[in-house]
Amino acid sequence: MPTYPSRVTVYEVGPRDGLQNEARHVPVEDRVRYIEMLADAGLPFVEAGAFVSPKAVPQMAGSDEVLAALHRKESVRYPVLVPNERGMERALAAGASDVAVFTAASESFTRANINATIAESIENFRPVARLAQQHNIPVRGYVSTALGCPYEGYVAPEAVVRVASALVELGVWQVSIGDTIGVGTPAGVEAVLSALVSEIPADMIAVHFHDTRGTALANVLTSLQMAITTVDSSSAGLGGCPYAPGASGNLATEDLLYMLHGMNIDTGVSIEKVAEASFFITGALGRRPESKFLQAFAAGARQADAAH
């Protein structure tokens, strides 16, 4: 039997990755309420916004207002994305106490997403890391397109290791390995993670799966077998990247929690409260939750209604 960790850290990206791709504008007060509901559910990390160009991602405009209005819990960290020094200055001015930089393992996606080469992106992060150190702010690093690129296709595990190692040298406390377009399978995940753990300790690695082709939970299981204990997910299964054509929702937090709790793996998170947050935000977006867990819940409710 494979062995699994007894506890997993769930890193919630719904208010950032989930909302950045939505056509409908979500007002600041609803974004704040959504983040607070997720924090109340016991999630230890709730990614709260992004200090990127509002021309590039208009959905994340107002992240400063979100941080200002948020009632923060001491037990929860609220990271925000920053792509460059300008973003870091804005994040600091808004009172951010956790940030994340993001680049990718393929050149074409990095160009489309942040208008830089991979090497330039690392240079752009140096002043971010310097400012973060001065202000005692932890920096997370994302490596997108780790299992495949929407423009280039196959991405070699060595390319992922190179970028992740450059981020670790920069001083990030954790690297999140992203399957941005949801093309990964357990075989690919195993190849990338085995290459990574030979260079970077497993406890510094997180996994970030998009469920575009239904393989996200299988990929999580493979990652847990390889001693990874932090998993990114998005409530209601919202998400995508505006610069990754065809990228659909992230792995849904409810689906992840259902699997982990069913395996007796502790997360400290209430699935019911995450479900409430998912209903709230999908209501604000005028759509239904994408998660299998809530689709089954809705089907159960309909069956119960029909039985009466």
Residues lying near Mg ion in the complex (CB under 5 A): 17
Binding mask 207-246 for ligand HMG (x = CB under 6 A): -x--------------------------------x-x---
Say how far apart CA 126 and CA 123 lie, in whole Å: 5
Say how far apart CA 21 and CA 100 lie, in whole Å: 18
Stretch that binds ligand HMG, among 4-12, 77-85, 266-274, 300-308 (CB under 6 A): 77-85
Residue 11, binding choice from ligand HMG, Mg ion, none, Cβ under 5 to 8 Å by partner class: none
Going across the sheet that includes 45-46, the strands are 45-46, 9-12, 230-233, 205-209, 174-179, 139-144, 99-104, 80-81, 49-50
Q: Copy the structure tokens of residue 150.
A: 């929407």
Say how far apart CA 253 and CA 305 lie, in whole Å: 27
Q: Is 22 in the site for ligand HMG (CB under 6 A)?
A: no
Judged by beta carbon, residue 87 or residue 188, the one nearer ligand HMG is 87
Judged by beta carbon, residue 114 or residue 274, the one nearer ligand HMG is 114
Residue 293, binding choice from Mg ion, ligand HMG, none, Cβ under 5 to 8 Å by partner class: none
Judged by beta carbon, residue 108 or residue 115, the one nearer ligand HMG is 115
Say how far apart CA 151 and CA 245 lie, in whole Å: 9
Least distance in angstroms from the C-beta of 143 to ligand HMG: 7
Q: Copy the structure tokens of residue 64.
A: 């400063």
Q: Which of 8, 15, 17, 59 binds ligand HMG (CB under 6 A)?
A: 17
Q: Is 180 in the site for ligand HMG (CB under 6 A)?
A: yes
Say how far apart CA 37 and CA 270 lie, in whole Å: 11
Q: Is 59 in the site for ligand HMG (CB under 6 A)?
A: no
- Is the alpha carbon torsion for 232, 273, 211, 101 positive or negative? negative
Q: Is 108 in the site for ligand HMG (CB under 6 A)?
A: no
Catalytic site includes residue 241: yes
Q: Is 52 in the site for ligand HMG (CB under 6 A)?
A: yes
Q: Is 139 in the site for ligand HMG (CB under 6 A)?
A: no
Place of tokens 């296709």: 153
Q: How far is CA 16 from the centre of its chain?
A: 8
Q: Is 53 in the site for ligand HMG (CB under 6 A)?
A: yes
Q: How far is CA 241 from the centre of its chain?
A: 11
Q: Active site residue: 146, 241, 257, 275, which one?
A: 241
Side chain identity at residue 39, one-letter code: A
Radius of gyration of the chain (CA): 18
Active site residues: 241
Q: Which residues bind ligand HMG (CB under 6 A)?
A: 17, 20, 50-53, 56-57, 81, 83-84, 86-87, 90, 102, 113-115, 142, 144, 178, 180, 208, 241, 243
